[in-house]
Amino acid sequence: DAKATEGGLNVTLTIRLLMHGKEVGSIIGKKGETVKKMREESGARINISEGSCPERIVTITGPTDAIFKAFSMIALKFEEDINASMTNSTVTSKPPVTLRLVVPASQCGSLIGKGGSKIKEIRESTGAQVQVAGDMLPNSTERAVTISGTPDAIIQCVKQICVVMLESPPKGATIPYRPKPASAPIIFAGGQAFTIQGQYAIPHPDLTKLHQLAMQHPPFTPLGQTTPGFPGLDATTPTSSHELTIPNDLIGCIIGRQGSKINEIRQMSGAQIKIANATEGSAERQVTITGSPANISLAQYLINAR
């Protein structure tokens, strides 16, 4: 996200960090005091993704100097946490501060350089460890870049990474990584759905409804015919339609081999599902679901589950 103004002095950048819940808690601080102080003192915008996820995305946006200031505050906070955790422990060697950046894969080549020359130069000049993940993060076109070292080494390293990112902006569309909620396993028992939380099974009414709908539905009704005895799905129920967009690289797992999965979803939900053809230059496909509200919600649930 490089917006260079004249002379390139005041360049706005966005850097995304991937953090564990515990690290995020440390950055937010009691009643949000720590992050508030970081925002005020650095002048950078710091946003934290919503989270019932084990991982969260922290987005830092602003002029480069504000970003470096925010990074130095984060690195020092992590350093403080490490020191605090060592006071009562028997560990003698001090672990380094570690940050994980999320970088569009199209920029990782420039960061690594020909034959690894650039990343080697960054490691040697800053003293930080830098690792670029070989694989993209799930359902995205981004990779994790892990930096570790002393707070000072990390800040020098981030400065050099920012320079590379500004010199070679991302190519093509980037599908950002979104951490998945820690999905509790679901158990269907006695016609009810339960999610497992810790050692308890919690009844889940929404899933139970969907499960019961799916169970009552004789699987092989010709599509478009309503089945007698399926409550809420008689011919008088108004049909409506709902549109979704799905990234191209995920559409395959919804369609399945020779359309097997999408047919299964059509049969289980009783909804009509149309997938638009891929359009040139777009990274997404339009999916239209038509049917009664119950059909549509079941189809959506099954598509999301895929």
Q: Is residue 294 part of a domain?
A: yes
Q: Is residue 153 part of a domain?
A: yes
Q: Is residue 118 part of a domain?
A: yes
Name the DSSP letter for residue 188: E
> Do 284 and 159 fall into the same domain?
no
Q: Is residue 29 part of a domain?
A: yes
Tell me the CATH number at 267. 3.30.1370.10
For the stretch 79-138, pLDDT in tens is 999 998 888 777 778 889 999 999 999 999 999 999 999 999 999 999 999 999 989 998
* pLDDT of 294: 79
* Residue 298: pLDDT over 90: no
Q: Is residue 195 part of a domain?
A: no
* Residue 5: pLDDT over 70: no
What is the percent of the chain with per-residue pLDDT over 70, rounded to a whole number?
77
> Do 160 and 294 fall into the same domain?
no
Rounded to two decimals, the pTM is: 0.59
CA-to-CA dists, residue 243 to 162, 239, 278, 300, angstroms? 38, 14, 15, 10
For the stretch 28-61, pLDDT in tens is 999 999 999 999 999 999 999 876 677 899 999 9
Q: Mean pLDDT across the chain, nearest whole number?
A: 82
* pLDDT of 190: 61
Q: How many Å is the Cα radius of gyration of the chain?
A: 25
Separation of alpha carbons 74 and 151, rounded Å: 9
Q: Is residue 199 part of a domain?
A: no
Give the domain-ending residue among 167, 196, 214. 167
> Do 150 and 287 fall into the same domain?
no
Separation of alpha carbons 274 and 291, rounded Å: 12
For the stretch 180-204, pLDDT in tens is 765 555 666 666 666 655 555 656 6
Q: Is residue 69 part of a domain?
A: yes
> Do 163 and 246 fall into the same domain?
no
Phi, psi (degrees; rounded to nearest 5) at 262: -65, -35
273: containing domain? 239-305
The structural domain count of the chain equals 2
Tell me the CATH number at 69. 3.30.310.210
> Do 39 and 148 fall into the same domain?
yes
> Do 249 and 108 fall into the same domain?
no
Q: Is residue 256 part of a domain?
A: yes
> Do 163 and 283 fall into the same domain?
no
Give the domain-ending residue among 138, 167, 196. 167
> Do 126 and 243 fall into the same domain?
no
> Do 163 and 300 fall into the same domain?
no
Residue for token digits 């097997």? Answer: 260
Give the domain-ending residue among 145, 167, 189. 167
> How confident is the model over 70-75, as a mean pLDDT?
96
Nearest to 140 by CA among 264, 268, 18: 18
* pLDDT of 233: 43
> Do 158 and 258 fall into the same domain?
no
Dihedral angle sign, alpha carbons of residues 242, 246, 250, 252: positive
